[in-house]
Amino acid sequence: MKNDVKTTRLELIKTKARRRVAAKGLSLLKMKRSSLILEFFKLARTITLLRANLNEHVLRAMDSTKIAEAQAGRANLERIAVEQKMERVSVDVRNVMGVRIPSLDMESTIKRSDAYELISVPSSVEDVRKNYSTLLKLLIEIAEKENSLRKLLHEIEKLNRRANAIENVVMPDLDAKASYIKQRLEDLERDQTVSLKFIKRKIGNAG
């Protein structure tokens, strides 16, 4: 491989320039990786807190369903449930240090069908609707953040591979190349100096 290296001063200058660019790129990659790691742990803590509340919301929704069934009857509860309009979820994309992460949002405005407005709904049934709506929002939020967590982890792993390649392969190779060129140039300079001295001696002796 060393036989393919141009041992010129211009090549040495180019190699040192590439080494500086690689070092700068490595620094930027590490900065980006640090920022993503901070975001990763922030998301992980948020998910832990959300999941801690999930069981409570599930139990609350189930308990309110039992109360509503006892007061309004299962058939009446199912009929009202069918008359509800589906909640809409909008999908957006946010950018975290160059990583595109889907963002889900459920419409906060509660839409009811005309039939729902015309009937008298027991408060226990309304509690069921509210509890399950809250539970759905929580599940969507957890799903969104867990998906974001996976994307951040994937990006962090990619940055790790790139940083390792630059730090452990590219930069050492450039250092070795620069060192080799420098050594060859020094050897060449010494050879030229010896040759010049030899020529001068020859000229001196001839005179």
pLDDT at residue 187 above 70? yes
Check if the beta carbon of residue 36 is closer than 8 Å to that of residue 159: yes
102 pLDDT band (50/70/90 cuts)?
confident
The answer to whether residue 202 sits within a structural domain is: no
Pair 18, 106: CB distance under 8 Å: no
Does the residue 137 lie in any domain?
A: yes
> Which structure tokens are listed for 171?
């930069």
Q: Is the pLDDT of residue 55 over 70?
A: yes
Per-residue pLDDT reduced to its tens digit, 21-36: 999 999 999 999 999 9
Give the pLDDT mean for 56-60: 91
Q: Quick check: is 147 in a domain? A: yes
Q: Is residue 28 part of a domain?
A: yes
CA distance 78 to 76: 5
pLDDT bin (cut points 50, 70, 90) of residue 204 is: low
Q: In angstroms, what CA-CA distances link 44 with 37, 40, 75, 101?
A: 10, 6, 42, 15
The tally of domains found in the chain comes to 1
- Residue 87 above 70 pLDDT? no
What pLDDT is recorded for position 73? 79
Of 67-76, 90-99, 177-186, the least confident:
90-99
What is the phi/psi pair of residue 79, to 5°? Answer: -65, -45
Percentage of residues of the chain with pLDDT beyond 90: 39
* DSSP assignment string, 97-142: TTEEEEEEEE-SS--B-HHHHHSPPPHHHHHHHHHHHHHHHHHHHH
- Local confidence band at 64 (pLDDT 50, 70, 90 cut-offs): confident
CATH code assigned at 31: 1.10.287.3240
pLDDT at res. 133? 83
Query: What value does the mean pLDDT take over residues 128-151?
Result: 88
pLDDT at 178: 93
- 45-49: long-range contacts (C-beta < 8 A, 24 or more apart)? 46/145, 47/142, 47/145, 47/146, 47/149
Per-residue pLDDT at 49 = 92
Interval 78-100 mean pLDDT: 70
Domain membership flag for residue 201: no
Its domain, for residue 11, covers 2-194
Cα distances (Å, whole numbers) of residue 119 to 33, 114, 200: 56, 9, 116
* Per-residue pLDDT tens over the stretch 158-174: 999 999 999 999 999 99
Find out whether 185 and 7 touch, Cβ atoms under 8 Å.
Answer: yes
CA distance 88 to 126: 19
- Strands (E) across the chain are located at 89-96, 99-106
What is the per-residue pLDDT for 33? 93
Average pLDDT estimate for 96-125: 63
In a domain, 12, yes or no: yes
**Is residue 110 predicted with pLDDT exceeding 60?**
no
Residue 118 scores a pLDDT above 50: no
Q: Is residue 73 part of a domain?
A: yes
Domain for residue 118, yes or no?
Answer: yes
Q: Give CA–CA dist 47/124, Å, rounded.
A: 30
